[in-house]
Amino acid sequence: MTPPVKPQSPPRYVLTLLLAVNLLNYIDRQALYAVFPLIKADLHLSDTALGFLGSAFMLCYMLSAPLFGWLAGRAGRTTIAAVGVALWSLATVCSGAAAGYRTLLGSRTIVGVGEASFGTVSPGLLADFFPKEERGRIISCFYLAIPVGSALGYLLGGIIGQRYGWHAAFFLVGAPGLLLALPVWFLREPAPVAGKIRRRSSWSDYLSLARNRSFVITTLAMAAMTFAMGGLAQWAPTFLHRMHGLEVGRANIFFGGITVVAGIIGTVTGGLLGDRCQRSSRFGYLTVSGWGFILGAPVLAWAIFSPSLPGSLLAIFLAESFLFFNTGPLNTVILNVTPQPLRAMAFAVNIFFIHALGDAVSPTLLGWFSDLTDLRRSLLITPPAVVVAACFCFLGRRFVGADMDEVGE
């Protein structure tokens, strides 16, 4: 006798829970960069060593992702996500207990492993709870966690770090994730999808993604964007501190506040424009993302060049608003051109390459170049990377329609 199928979790509940977890994901990640100046002064680090704390996190994040993509075909995605949430939250708390550079470096690498598990399985898991016509809006909502969580990471990390020290900042931002791991564990997937996901995946499935032109080009666009945005995210508060004389707490408040407002405006606008353009053109998501990059690159250069604090802050706001256009659309392109059973593996490959070519190298590279020259000249590397991302978006318009037809949803 076939056992009764347990009902799936309510879709809106799933979206709310995964969005909350994703917020903590980016809070824990960005809190490190908010206290960069405090760690540098306390541990007497060079900019290169400081930047490597971010790069080490990304190296483990990207190297772990393919393993979790493979495991998603053999174990429950909710189990993988829940264990990952608990692991990165515990490692963040341990970062607060670090007595020296090596201990802090080790804790941040474990944070990368935990976040990789959630980042690999959560977009595809969420997409299975909603029909295709709602997917762009839902994914954009899920990825609002990037600007909001990042801003909260800067704000909480900066304020707590300024008042109580950088150790306390990690303690306080890491603890809530331990509470959310349990409800993620008990999520129920849609029954037909769960049956498909449990098929045994093979490492050879990764090779099929290399033949998907839209997936490859979209991943390259996101890698160029991640190189620029990752470098900017890690060094912008320090840039405001050094170049414009803001104390650490105020620098993080300004940058965090700008990021949350610009990120919400950019992500929501990009999602709405993407859905509208996609209804009239099969490459609408790529068009909106490409033009966001084209508009954002020169404004980003203005933000770095500006000699005045108000001019720099205004330009940062405008640049981030344009650059966040791509958040929902490009992730939705990956979902739309990838068969459902391979989506966890697709996001695993995407995570690996966007960080291997992006913010796994840019923090250390920018820190090294800053040591040789200064931080302003170092950050001028980022606008050309944004232009490269735009070029890939416009190239991908040639192939996305045919690749969506092959998926056949």
Q: What is the model's pLDDT at position 300? A: 95
Task: Look at residue 3 and tell me whether its pLDDT is greater than 70.
Answer: no
Q: What structural domains does the chain harbor?
A: 11-184+205-407 (1.20.1250.20)
Instruction: Indicate whether this model's pTM tops 0.85.
Output: no
| CA–CA dist 69, 293 (Å, integer) | 29
> What pLDDT, in 10s, does the model give residues 341-392?
788 889 889 988 998 888 778 888 888 888 888 888 899 999 999 999 999 9
Q: How many CB atoms lie within 10 A of CB 379?
A: 24
Are 171 and 96 spatial neighbours (Cβ–Cβ below 8 Å)?
Answer: yes
- Is 151 within 8 Å of 259 (Cβ atoms)? yes
Q: Count CB-CB contacts under 10 A for residue 102.
A: 9
pLDDT score at 191: 63
pLDDT tens string 122-161? 988 888 888 776 777 788 889 888 888 887 887 888 888 8
Rounded to the nearest integer, the mean pLDDT of the chain is: 86
- The letter for the amino acid at 225 is M
More confident residue, 133 or 326: 326
